[in-house]
């Protein structure tokens, strides 16, 4: 069933671009990367992370599964912080699993697309934003801004969410 996961439409095709970009970052030193062959509208933070922590293409899927699970964890924590006093933890866990109903996230995870990193970083940013809102400690605001910047760096379209939340 997972081999058929392409509900967002172009994930399978996009994965060929991801593999090309992965090869570019793995093959060349940073100063010698032929950027004209780089096939993404996003900055290469995803590939730099892959290059540091993983050495084979097989690990692309593993990274995205890990990032999706981290996203789920922080999404659960956000809901717990916002609604935890009113709802049972099992219901919160069940509710947080709704994130996996998103065809975009499922396809991006399965096909090892770079979008999953941005979703994960943005979710972590939201968690610290809400934590700052509750505890009123500037360190949480600072951490939230750092993760928001990393989310923006991984996917520039997150600027709209970031501006909405912080302004």
String of DSSP letters for 74-97: HHHHHHHHHHTTTS-HHHHHHHHG
What pLDDT is stored for residue 127 in this prediction? 95
Return the higher-pLDDT residue of 167 and 77: 77
- Residue 119 host element (H or E): helix 115-135
On the 0-12 / 13-18 / 19+ scale of CB atoms within 10 A, 26 is: middle
- pTM of the shown model: 0.83
Look at residue 149 and tell me whether its pLDDT is greater than 70: yes
Task: Please state, rounded to an integer, the average pLDDT across all residues of the chain.
Answer: 83
For residue 30, pLDDT over 60 is answered with yes
Residue range 71-79: average pLDDT?
91
Q: Which carries the bigger pLDDT value, residue 8 or residue 19?
A: 19
Query: How far apart (Å, rounded) are the C-alpha atoms in residues 152 and 159?
Result: 6
Percent of the chain with pLDDT over 70: 90
């Amino acid at each position: 069933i997972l081999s058929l996961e392409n509900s967002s439409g172009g994930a399978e095709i996009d994965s060929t671009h991801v593999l090309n970009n992965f090869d570019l970052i793995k093959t060349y030193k940073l100063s010698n990367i032929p950027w004209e062959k780089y096939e993404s509208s996003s900055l290469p933070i995803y590939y730099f992370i892959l290059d540091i922590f993983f050495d084979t293409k097989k690990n692309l899927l593993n990274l995205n599964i890990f990032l999706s699970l981290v996203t789920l964890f922080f999404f659960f924590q956000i809901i717990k912080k916002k609604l935890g006093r009113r709802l049972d933890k099992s219901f919160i866990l069940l509710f947080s699993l709704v994130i996996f109903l998103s065809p975009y996230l499922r396809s991006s995870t399965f096909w090892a697309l770079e979008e999953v990193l941005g979703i994960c970083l943005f979710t972590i940013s939201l968690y610290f934003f809400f934590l700052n809102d509750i505890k009123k400690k500037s360190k949480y605001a600072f951490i939230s801004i750092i993760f928001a910047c990393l989310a923006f760096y991984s996917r520039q379209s997150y600027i709209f969410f970031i501006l909405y939340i912080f302004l």
